[in-house]
Each structure stands twice: as structure tokens, then as C-alpha cells.
Amino acid sequence: MSPVLASDTSINPARLTNMVRQDCGSCHGLTLRGGLGKPLTREHLERWDREQLVHIILDGVPGTPMPPWRPILTEKEARWIADMLKRGALQ
């Protein structure tokens, strides 16, 4: 975990990890190798930077089933998820 996030008490890593694996996983696969949605593996996400991923997580991708998670996640939480995905830490 990065030093910035380590001091952030509003992040609950266990809850977010479970949510990414189980609930994002219902479209992206439990191991994040894809399903109806694209793979969220480290290799697949290389072409996007962190802020792009945060934007996709919070606002979704119009015209696709990817929903905006803003009603459920804070920006901090979305950034934490984007960082972890970029590192392959949730696979």
C-alpha cells in the first residue's frame, strides 16, 4: 500500500477487495480475467493511467454495461481500487 493511502482511515481494504473480486467479478470474472466485461489484469490495464481508470470506475462507460460507481464509492476508494488494479494486487 502506498504511504498516502496507508494513512487514510476511510479506506477499508478488506471490504473493497471483496467488492472488486466478488461484485466487479460478476462481470469481469472472480480472477479479473474478464467475462462480459474486459479483463482487469495488470497487463490489460497498462494502456490506461490511474486517472482514466478512476474516471471509468466513477462515471462508467456510456453505451456499455459498465455502470457509474459514484453512488457507491468515494473518489478515494476509486483511486485505491485503480492503484491496486494497476499493480495486479487484487488478482
Partner 1 sequence: MSVVFRVLIVCVGLAIATPLAAAELRGTGSLGIIVERTAGAVAIVDTVNHSIVGRVGGLGDLSHASAVFSPDQRFAYVFGRDGGLTKIDLLKSEIVRRVMQAGNSIGGAISDDGSLVAVSNYEPGGVRVFDAGTLKQIADIPASLAGGKTSKTVGLVDLPGRRFAYALYDAGEIWIADFSASDGPQITRLTGVGKLPYDGNVTPDGRHYLAGLFGEDGVVHVDLWKTPLTAERILDGYGRGEQPLPVYKMPHLEGWAAGTSVMMIPAVGHHELIAVDSRDFKEVGRVATYGQPVFAVERPGSHQVWVNFAHPLNDTIDVVDTLSLKVVHRFKAGPAVLHMEFTPRGHEVWVSVRDANRVRVYDAASFAEKATLEVKNPSGIFFTARATRIGQ
Cell (9 digits) for 87: 499493480
Q: How far is the CB of 32 from partner 1 (least distance, A)?
A: 10
Q: How far is the CB of 5 from partner 1 (least distance, A)?
A: 23
Q: How far is the CB of 64 from partner 1 (least distance, A)?
A: 8
Q: Where in 1-91 does DSSP place strands (E)?
A: none
Binding site for partner 1 (CB under 8 A): 18, 21-23, 25-27, 29-31, 33-36, 60, 63, 65, 67-69, 71-72
- Find the helix or strand (DSSP H, E) in which 36 lies: none
Residue 52 or residue 67: which is nearer to partner 1 going by CB?
67
